[in-house]
Chain A
């Protein structure tokens, strides 16, 4: 701070109590001499500038949260999705036996979620629901506190997923547009898993881990089955509650050569 005094004499000049305001060196030619402020005016002006600065920073934070994180996440998700598609195209199914990297490398994502009622985009699904995973603009399947049952395992259970409502790709932003009966389709390398929405819980506590259960009883089902659960935060722009959508497997379809989507997506 002291070093800044070197450049011009005006700051040092104010330190002494003589109210002689003479600083010809630093004054720009056209500047007429401004009035000195009293202590109250100075404090007010200092807080005024602090408030202006805080307002600007908060405004920038909103822009960061709702716009910039989407830009970054969409780019990241797009790259990862391309990797998965490439691995699928070059995997054992197409290019002979055993070639290419393992198509179910959990790091790369296990498939794509299609929910036409919510978004026209496909959503890459990866392992885990940590912020690090979800911030890449993907949906994550739960490993904690209740482990998701992957549809590819063929077992009965609950395929539970989470994604951001706002920012970081905002993949589940339109979750409130899903109605009962709407299709939720999960695409893997060689199968389409077609689910049908059968229950929606528009607001629940963030501690309600029962919604992830193998048999999500709150959805009204009492028997084991192939379920899918989408979770995100609600209301929009906050994280006060959780929004839950449940679906049940209707059928699976083999992926054909052209990856023709099932009727629900056409």
Chain B
């Protein structure tokens, strides 16, 4: 009864996506740890460089001017 196993390959009823990623990284523990760091860095880079600058003006935290609209 693996619901969504086709949709989300990591949901094969054993564990979540993070351990799925971990299981699919090659090499021994140290290599996997290093690759995980690289993946995390890549994700943080994409967030800081593209996603957050795009999202920020849409959020009401940083409007400092007065205007009449």
Q: What residues make up the interface of A, taking CB atoms closer than 8 Å to B?
A: 1, 4-5, 7-8, 10-11, 14-15, 17, 26, 28, 34, 36-39, 42-43, 45-46, 48-49, 57, 60-61, 64-65, 68, 129, 131, 134, 142, 144-145, 162-168, 172, 204-209, 211-212, 231-233, 237-239, 242
Contacts and interface: CB of A to CB of B under 8 A. Distances in A.
Nearest to A212: B66
Given A43-B3, A131-B57, A209-B66, 19 more contacts: A8-B24, A15-B2, A26-B23, A37-B13, A37-B14, A57-B47, A61-B52, A64-B52, A65-B62, A134-B64, A145-B68, A162-B64, A164-B62, A164-B64, A165-B64, A172-B64, A206-B65, A207-B67, A212-B66
B66 A211 contact: yes
Interface string B34-59: 00000000001001100010011100
Given A45-B16, A209-B68, A39 B7 contact: no
A36 B6 CA distance: 16
Nearest to B57: A131
Contacts of B33: none
Contacts of B16: 45-46, 48-49
29 contacts: A1-B9, A7-B24, A10-B12, A11-B12, A14-B12, A15-B6, A37-B13, A37-B14, A42-B4, A46-B4, A46-B8, A60-B44, A60-B48, A64-B48, A65-B52, A129-B65, A131-B57, A142-B65, A145-B66, A145-B68, A162-B65, A164-B64, A165-B64, A166-B62, A206-B66, A231-B65, A233-B64, A239-B64, A242-B64
Size category of the B interface is: 35 or more
Nearest to A46: B11
Interface in B1-34: 1-9, 11-18, 23-24
Contacts of A164: 62, 64
B17 to A, nearest CB: 6
**6 A-B pairs with least C-beta separation:** A239-B63, A14-B12, A36-B13, A14-B2, A49-B16, A64-B52
A109 B12 CA distance: 59
B1 A49 contact: no
B24 to A, nearest CB: 7
A17 B1 contact: yes
B19 to A, nearest CB: 9
Contact of B7 (A1, A36, A237): A1
B23 A239 contact: no
A211 B68 CA distance: 12
